[in-house]
């Protein structure tokens, strides 16, 4: 069996927002590989979170990769602001439109890595003609908008299909929604190499608890 080296990206959506900077530092020290930032607009998804000023305010709390998941439409008018705020990876939704190829090119032209996210019901065929513009595919295993939802297992088959579709291209496959030690192994066996986790990481008190939670997901993923 090939050794896996899964990256864990805690979603700060599940953190204590009243101590956001501290939470980012704590989870980084606890072993997070990336920091996942869920940006919601109350339009593309039925919830509102935060935008570039908040991301900028926490950017100097860690040098970990800032992995920004935009659940907003339109996204294009805001891409430069998210790049300026310090996001290293910027992911837009295929369903958010209107011109996915243009959005991905814009992100790369800003010097950032470009990702596309697919909702659970969106078929993998939507990325067939943008594979060469992509650094990351983010597959939602819940309907986007809220943390703490139940994992949708039918997406595991989509992970397998996307892994086959991308072939040798250096494209990360990231999973988001209801990720826990119970499903991490199946996801990485299917081809995922980055796992986002919110409620499975931000539980218990502080660095020790978060480190234990991250290690449990990582062990299950790499097992
Ligand atoms: O994008 C998201 C919701 O739209 C969150 O990142 C995701 O749900 C993670 O939270 P949890 O691990 O608690 O499911």
Atom of ligand 1 nearest to the CA of 200: 12
- Residue 53 corresponds to which tokens in the numbers above? 């000023």
- What is the per-residue pLDDT for 4? 85
Total residue length of the chain: 223
- What is the per-residue pLDDT for 36? 99
What's the pLDDT tens digit per position in 22-70?
A: 999 999 999 999 999 999 999 999 999 999 999 999 999 999 999 999 9
Distances (CA, A) of 153 to 88, 143, 147, 178: 29, 12, 16, 10
Q: What's the complex ipTM?
A: 0.97
The arithmetic mean of pLDDT across residues 75-88, rounded, is 98
Whole-number percent of the chain with pLDDT over 70: 99
Does 99 carry a binding-site annotation? no
What's the gap in Å between 147 CA and the centre of ligand 1? Answer: 4
Catalytic residue among 33, 41, 67, 176: 176
Cis status, amide bond into 98, omega within 30 of 0 = yes
CATH H-level superfamily of 36-56+66-199: Aldolase class I (3.20.20.70)
> In angstroms, rounded to a whole number, what is the distance separating the alpha carbons of residues 219 and 115?
26
- State if residue 143 touches ligand 1 by the CB under 6 angstroms criterion: no
Does 36 carry a binding-site annotation? yes
Average per-residue pLDDT in the chain?
97
- Residue 60 corresponds to which tokens in the numbers above? 């100097």
- What is the per-residue pLDDT for 2? 55
Domain edges within the chain: 36-56+66-199
Which position has the token pair 């986790």? 197
Strands 113-118 and 136-140: parallel
What's the pLDDT tens digit per position in 106-136?
A: 999 999 999 999 999 999 999 999 999 999 9
């Amino acid at each position: 069996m090939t050794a896996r080296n899964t990256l864990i990206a805690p979603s700060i959506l599940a953190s204590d927002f009243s101590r956001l900077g501290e939470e980012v530092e704590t989870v980084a020290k606890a072993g997070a590989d990336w920091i996942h930032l869920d940006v919601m607009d109350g339009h593309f998804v039925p919830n509102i979170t935060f935008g570039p000023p908040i991301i900028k305010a926490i950017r100097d709390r860690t040098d970990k990769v800032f992995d920004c998941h935009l659940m907003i439409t339109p996204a294009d008018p805001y891409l430069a602001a998210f790049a300026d705020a310090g996001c290293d990876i910027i992911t837009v939704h295929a369903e958010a439109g209107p011109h996915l190829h243009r959005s991905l090119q814009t992100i790369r032209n800003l010097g950032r890595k470009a990702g596309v996210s697919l909702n659970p019901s969106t078929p993998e065929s939507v990325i067939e003609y943008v594979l060469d513009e992509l650094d990351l595919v983010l597959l939602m295993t819940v309907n986007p908008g809220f943390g703490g939802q139940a994992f949708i297992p039918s997406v595991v088959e989509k992970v397998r299909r996307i892994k086959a579709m991308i072939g040798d291209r250096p494209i990360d496959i990231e999973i988001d929604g209801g990720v826990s030690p119970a499903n991490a192994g199946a996801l990485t066996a299917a081809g995922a190499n980055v796992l986002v986790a919110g409620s499975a990481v931000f539980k218990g008190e502080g660095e020790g608890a978060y480190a234990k939670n991250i290690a449990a997901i990582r062990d299950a993923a790499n097992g």
